[in-house]
A and B are shown apart, each in its own frame.
Chain A
Amino acid sequence: MINFDSSVPVKLKGVGDGFWITLDPSCSEETIKSEINNLFKNLKPLVMNSSVVIDVGAAKGHGDLIKNITSHLKNTFKVTKVTTPPEKRSIPTQRIRQRDLSKGWNHHKSDVLMLRGRVRSGQKIESKRHIVITGDVNPGAEIIASGDIIVLGKLAGKVHAGCPGNNTAIIFALEFKPTHVQIGAIAAAGMDEDFIAKPEYACIEDDGIMVKDYMKTNPFRKMPWPETI
């Protein structure tokens, strides 16, 4: 049966990694369930283990309805997570929230190994975290990190970031002159061509290692706010 008078009882749209269902709470529970069954029938493999947001629009209450639909979705379609849409916050609350967030890094346990001084030939620094070295890395030295490698000085040794298999890692140095670079599983030899000392970083692009001018293509410039690592 199609109801021409009011809006459809159930509307479905895909959002992010799940689905967004808009319900008309004036319809009966049975109608809504059968509509959901109709809509989800063909999507069954997609819906499984996904998350669903149930939106009843501006209407308030309907706690029972949402609860029933939630259990229906979980039981029939094996949906992992059912939520209601987040409440819209006024601008002042948003600001307060951001300030709260910034306090968060006081309690943050760092994922960075920071070292000071010169790393000499034959020395090997390995870490499951990011590595920051304030000092030079001499030829013959080796640095292996599971995350990024940042050298505030001259990098002339052998570096392996994102070990193993993290292709998003970067290697940064104020003077980028390594003998050998590896990010994840992709490796490259250092360059012998004329070298100008400037801040550069290496990252993976199109299955190859690219070395870029940090001041021109800062990879973090687009991040809207500082994030703890």
Chain B
Amino acid sequence: MEGKVIVITSGKGGVGKTTATSSIGAALALEGKRVAIVDMDIGLRNLDVVMGLENRIVFNIVDVVHGKCKISQAAIRDRRIKNLFLIPASQSDNKDVLTTAGVERVAEQLKKEFDYIIMDSPAGIEKGFENSIVGADEAIVVCTPDVSAVRDADRVIGILYSKSLNPKLLVNRIEPARVERGEMLSHEDVLEVLSIDLAGLVPMDEQVLISSNTGTPLVLQNESKAGQAFKRIARRLNGEADLPIQAPELKTSLWGKIGRTFGLKK
């Protein structure tokens, strides 16, 4: 059976595309699937650092597209999670070196060798973004609960629809305490504006910064709330579509819970 290309995109930078890509990719590999994660952010590669595979790069996606090497040569195997491969971006080129036709051809080849190909799109809606969505079968739009991220996600969703991709939404970095205080948009507010299907909700988690700095997969840390959320998203992508989406909740005392049940506002 042919694999599936899933592009992770957002429009705005810094909302957690790279974290989502590496975490979902790792979680899918833990589920036993053959997964390739592809860094499409040519010139500003990050995914290799986040995954702790930087010092093993020989070839990259630009070499693959230009036919300088085989996919198997460019794909770096992760040592901790088997079945997980990374195809890094080139750091020295810029985004114009790839053509949509070339990326599409490589995407077709990747589909034959892997079950899931997760593409990490660059920020923006220019050439690099176009290259990363051209071969995609599915799209996940990452958005944080703030007004500017929602605005950019909205624009990207419009573009994805025009390319006949049906994107799903991943709301990242939800802080239940701040939502409760009214300082932050809730995921309902975000959904009301964007009105697309949810892929999942991921809470704010300090563990994310630590694990990306040390290059260890988030999903291997059982105490990480974000890691657990990404695991559930991966299970949902991997056929368990009915797995309910858990909204991040504040840890409240028993009395607080009882109060909420009776409709009392805190």
Contacts and interface: CB of A to CB of B under 8 A. Distances in A.
* Pair from one complex: yes
Interface of A: 118, 120-123, 136, 138-140, 156
A140 B155 contact: yes
Given A118-B195, A138-B193, A123 B158 contact: yes
Contacts of A123: 158
Nearest to A118: B195
Nearest to B161: A120
A140 B195 contact: no
Interface string B116-140: 0000000000000000000000000
Given A120-B155, A139-B151, A156-B193, 12 more contacts: A120-B157, A120-B158, A121-B151, A121-B152, A121-B154, A121-B155, A136-B193, A136-B195, A138-B154, A139-B147, A139-B193, A140-B155
How many B residues are at the interface, by size bracket? 10 to 19
Interface of B: 147, 151-152, 154-155, 157-159, 193, 195
12 contacts: A118-B195, A120-B154, A120-B157, A121-B154, A121-B158, A122-B154, A122-B155, A122-B159, A138-B154, A138-B193, A140-B154, A156-B193
Nearest to B157: A120
Contacts of A122: 154-155, 158-159
A211 to B, nearest CB: 22
Contacts of B195: 118, 136
Nearest to B125: A122
B130 to A, nearest CB: 15
A122 B159 CA distance: 9
A47 B226 CA distance: 83
Nearest to B162: A123
B162 to A, nearest CB: 9
Contacts of B152: 121
A122 B129 CA distance: 16
Contacts of A156: 193
A100 B79 CA distance: 82
A120 B193 CA distance: 9
A122 B162 CA distance: 12
Contacts of A140: 151, 154-155
Contacts of B147: 139
A138 B196 CA distance: 13
A140 B12 CA distance: 14
Nearest first, the 4 closest Cβ-Cβ pairs linking A and B are A120-B158, A121-B154, A122-B155, A121-B155
A123 B147 CA distance: 18
A176 B94 CA distance: 44
B209 to A, nearest CB: 29
A156 B158 CA distance: 16
A98 B68 CA distance: 79
Contacts of B159: 122
Nearest to A120: B158
Contacts of B193: 136, 138-139, 156
Nearest to A119: B158
Contacts of B158: 120-123
